[in-house]
Structure 1
């Protein structure tokens, strides 16, 4: 189920990206507002951190379910970063972390659900079942922050593709939170 969802999200993101690429430059800046820009500029580093966390699971997680979930998160969020970066470029706005994954332009206090450097170091320093527990707990909080950001975009944004992506993020991450809560049960 999760792999199917991730595949659907990747396909939807790629279609969105392809659609953005077909717009001519004269109309690409139309139809967006400050909320759309803020959504993309904040969600990019938010997704980058989720990918960093997911990549740690490859070598540190004990549970195959945690490893699969982490792979699904990475597969879904990497294309979304590319899509949002494309929007920002077409709008003449700077994309955060232009230097690559892992460079966050905002402190973790600026966005809901972001982990601190200390929390990330703790996660990186753990392994086995302790990693699984920490990863799931932290990723639930991280996803809740992304859902808040997606809900704000849906309430305040106007760019149709950003509104659609925000809806997809809210839906997919709500489902992943339910999965993670199940995985945390003894």
Structure 2
């Protein structure tokens, strides 16, 4: 009888121990199940997708840009540089006080924009057009002056300079406005499209001013 009770107790202990082992295994299985799902299960897709989405969101925080933005910056830098160079001729050659003031305003507006455009290209990993470098395909297009036109302007003085400066700058500004409108239509980088809007507004006003000084309005 005592032997039977001992066997019953041992059997109960074994059953209890087995039940405890099953509980522990179940708990351990839940933990390992999460871990395995994190690598190969369905949950792995969700957890692994988070790091994958991080790089995509990083550029968004800096502002997305596209090929049109790059083209705008690379084209506008030499365009602005030439305008600044033209404006730099006015103090020693212009006769009209209005022309001298206009030239100074052009320098003040466009020189900082050159620095901003260059900074964008650098941040995008793009090459900034070298100082003095010019895409020869741009000469005579986009309102850019040819080397001959620049030489004529350099050789002019007095009223002749004033007239040549304004006529050439009107053409130059019209080219910049066209470039800015293209950026507004096709660009994705909001600071660049805002700059384009400012260029359109300011240079259109200067075109109107120069036309009036030339007696064309």
TM-score (norm 2): 0.69
- The Cα RMSD (Å) is 1.6
* Match of residue 19 from structure 1: none
Alpha carbons 2:140, 2:146 under 8 Å: kept: no
* Match of residue 38 from structure 2: none
* Match of residue 60 from structure 1: 93
Q: Pick from 112, 129, 135: which aligns with 2:159?
A: 129
* Match of residue 155 from structure 1: 185
Alpha carbons 2:173, 2:207 under 8 Å: kept: yes
1:58 Cα deviation after fit: 1.2
Q: Number of residues paired by the alignment? A: 158
1:185 Cα deviation after fit: 1.4
Q: Pick from 115, 127, 130: which aligns with 1:94?
A: 127
Q: Give per-residue Cα distances to partners, 1:22-73, cap 9 Å, x unaligned.
A: xxxx637750000000000000000000000000011100001000000000
Cα separation, 2, equivalents of 1:60 and 1:123: 9
Greater length-normalized contact order (CA 8 Å, ≥ 6 residues apart): 1
Alpha carbons 1:42, 1:111 under 8 Å: kept: no
Q: Which has the larger radius of gyration?
A: 2
* Match of residue 72 from structure 1: 105
Alpha carbons 2:63, 2:190 under 8 Å: kept: no
Cα separation, 1, equivalents of 2:213 and 2:63: 44
Q: 2:75 aligned with 1:42, yes or no?
A: yes
Unpaired segments ≥5 residues, structure 2: 1-57
* Match of residue 169 from structure 2: 139
Q: Check 1:48–1:175 CA distance in 2 against 1; reply closer, same or farther (3 A cut).
A: same
Alpha carbons 2:64, 2:189 under 8 Å: kept: yes
Q: Pick from 114, 120, 124: which aligns with 2:150?
A: 120
1:108 Cα deviation after fit: 3.3
Q: Give per-residue Cα distances to partners, 1:126-174, cap 9 Å, x unaligned.
A: 0000000000000000000000000000000000000000000000000
TM-score (norm 1): 0.81
1:107 Cα deviation after fit: 3.8
Bigger fraction of residues in helix: 2
